[in-house]
């Protein structure tokens, strides 16, 4: 099948695999065991990878903490910062955040913290003005995602970060969908913490990082994992050297291609949008039309149940009816509800995620095969008679 589910995960870049292989075979040293050459090689590899991550974000190497992925990074940022402050203090998030932000926020609420969930506009975005009305002297942290994993819209995090900085409130952003996709410059962007994940940028699953800005007053975080004191005592556990090398290689490829790749992938997205609009009548495109992730397209197809369309095309086209991370719940996506989609669209929405390895011909084929599948589903639902 044609793979158009790159928001859920991406194919490992062959160059990333090649960089990882030695650390899955002959280079098995522990990066903390630097008294011998095995450990020294591992430590050098980790340190080079950290540099590659820092270079992509334009931050310092000491500001990168490796984690098991963006879920852990978000948990560490949010639980860590809030639990380092007294119960009762305030956290601000938005309604369209990923579950890996919403769930720790709910957990904090149960522990007695004050959690404010900002409503989002029809694109899934919040404004700095909205954040400003909720900031008060008890606010510890604001967490607003960069690019939305479902509808693809991008939040104005630069304004929100600047606002938080002025009020001396910590700002975290879940940039899982944007790191490696659109340029980010942390020397200008005033975020205090940023989450990323390798498997969204052609790296391996199970590895990510949290950027934690070195600043004064110090950002204090209560760790989630205690042990050997790795990662500056913020995240204990023997470093998964091969995974970290994979993340570093993925970042390094993105650093060199990011602008041209974003352009090329946006062009494919626009082509897909145009072809679908031509072939499928009465279709609605969701999310912001310009200010969006390069590869992300989100549609509602009234009368065509998304699961039924996907089932029809299961051997030809891999796409998604929502976020892969909330697949265990049969409920319509909280993001689609938050953007105020009509009830008829909640179960008829599809997400396409275009990535590095997709071609123009795949995109055209996708639109070609989508059209008859939609028509058949609309026929079944009686939509065409209406
Ligand atoms: N945040 C966002 C915005 C995501 O899209 C994802 C992955 N669906 C995550 C967090 C979780 O990332 P990971 O799979 O690395 O835990």
Choose one of 253, 276, 309: the last residue of a domain: 253
Choose one of 214, 234, 253: the last residue of a domain: 253
The pTM score is 0.97
CA of 35 to the centre of ligand 1 (A): 37
Which atom belonging to ligand 1 lies closest to the Cα atom of 74?
A: 10
Nearest CA to ligand 1 atom 12: 70
Query: Which residues are identified as catalytic?
Result: 325
Q: Kindly state whether residues 184 and 202 are assigned to the same domain.
A: yes
Q: Kindly state whether residues 243 and 308 are assigned to the same domain.
A: no
Q: Indicate if the pLDDT at residue 370 is higher than 60.
A: yes
Q: Kindly state whether residues 193 and 247 are assigned to the same domain.
A: yes
Which atom belonging to ligand 1 lies closest to the Cα atom of 323?
A: 8
Domain with 300 in it: what CATH number?
3.90.1150.10
Strands 349-353 and 296-300: antiparallel
pLDDT class of 325 with cuts at 50, 70, 90: very low
* Mutational test site, ligand 1, from 76, 78, 100, max ligand atoms within 8 Å of CB: 100
Q: Kindly state whether residues 215 and 130 are assigned to the same domain.
A: yes
Domain with 197 in it: what CATH number?
3.40.640.10
Q: Exposed, middle or buried by CB within 10 Å (0-12, 13-18, 19+), for 302?
A: middle
220 C-beta neighbours (distance < 10 Å), count = 11
> Residue 220 in contact with residue 84, Cβ under 8 Å?
yes
| Ligand 1, pocket residues at CB < 6 Å | 69-71, 98, 100, 145, 149, 174, 176-177, 197, 208, 323-325
CA of 178 to the centre of ligand 1 (A): 11
Q: Give the domain range for residue 246.
A: 14-253
Q: Kindly state whether residues 145 and 34 are assigned to the same domain.
A: yes
Q: What is the pLDDT of residues 34-59, one digit of tens each?
A: 999 999 999 999 999 999 999 999 99
Q: Kindly state whether residues 302 and 346 are assigned to the same domain.
A: yes
For 210, phi then psi, to 5°, come to: -120, 125
**Arithmetic mean of pLDDT, 224-241:** 96
Q: Kindly state whether residues 268 and 234 are assigned to the same domain.
A: no
Lowest mean pLDDT among 53-57, 85-89, 123-127, 219-223: 219-223
**Cβ-Cβ contacts under 8 Å for 361 (sequence gap 6 or more):** none
Q: Kindly state whether residues 19 and 168 are assigned to the same domain.
A: yes
First to last CA, the chain: 33
Q: Kindly state whether residues 205 and 328 are assigned to the same domain.
A: no
Name the E strands within 82-232. 90-94, 114-118, 139-143, 170-174, 193-197, 208-212
């Amino acid at each position: 099948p044609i793979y158009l589910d790159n928001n859920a995960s991406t194919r490992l870049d062959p160059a990333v695999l090649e960089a990882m292989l030695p650390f899955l075979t002959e280079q098995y040293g522990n990066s903390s065991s630097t008294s011998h050459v095995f450990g020294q090689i591992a430590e050098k590899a980790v340190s080079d990878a950290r540099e590659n991550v820092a270079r992509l974000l334009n931050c310092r190497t000491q500001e990168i903490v490796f984690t098991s992925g963006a879920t852990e990074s978000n948990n560490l940022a949010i639980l860590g910062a809030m639990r380092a402050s007294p119960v009762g203090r305030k956290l601000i998030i938005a309604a369209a955040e990923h579950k890996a932000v919403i769930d720790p926020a709910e957990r904090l609420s149960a522990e007695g913290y004050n959690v404010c969930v900002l409503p989002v506009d029809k694109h899934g975005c919040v404004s700095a003005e909205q954040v400003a009305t909720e900031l008060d002297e008890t606010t510890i942290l604001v967490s607003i995602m960069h690019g939305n994993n479902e509808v693809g819209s991008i939040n104005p995090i630069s304004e929100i970060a600047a606002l938080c900085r002025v009020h001396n409130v910590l700002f975290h952003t879940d940039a899982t969908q944007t790191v490696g996709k659109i340029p980010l410059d942390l020397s200008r962007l005033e975020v205090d913490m940023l989450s990323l994940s390798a498997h969204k940028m052609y790296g391996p699953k199970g590895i990510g990082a949290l950027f934690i800005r070195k600043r004064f007053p110090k950002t204090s975080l209560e760790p989630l994992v205690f042990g050997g004191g790795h990662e500056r005592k913020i995240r204990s556990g023997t470093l998964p050297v091969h995974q970290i090398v994979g993340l570093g290689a993925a970042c390094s490829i993105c650093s060199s291609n990011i602008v041209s790749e974003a352009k090329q992938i946006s062009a494919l997205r626009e082509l897909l949008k145009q072809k679908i609009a031509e072939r499928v009548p009465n279709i609605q495109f969701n999310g912001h039309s310009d200010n969006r992730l390069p590869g992300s397209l989100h549609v509602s197809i009234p009368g065509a149940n998304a699961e039924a369309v996907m089932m029809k095309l299961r051997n030809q086209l891999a796409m998604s009816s929502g976020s892969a991370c909330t697949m265990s719940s049969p409920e319509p996506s909280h993001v689609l509800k938050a953007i105020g989609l009509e009830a008829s669209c909640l179960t008829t929405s599809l997400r396409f995620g275009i990535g590095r390895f997709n071609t123009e011909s795949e995109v055209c084929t996708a639109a070609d095969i989508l059209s008859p599948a939609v028509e058949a589903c609309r026929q079944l639902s009686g939509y065409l008679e209406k």
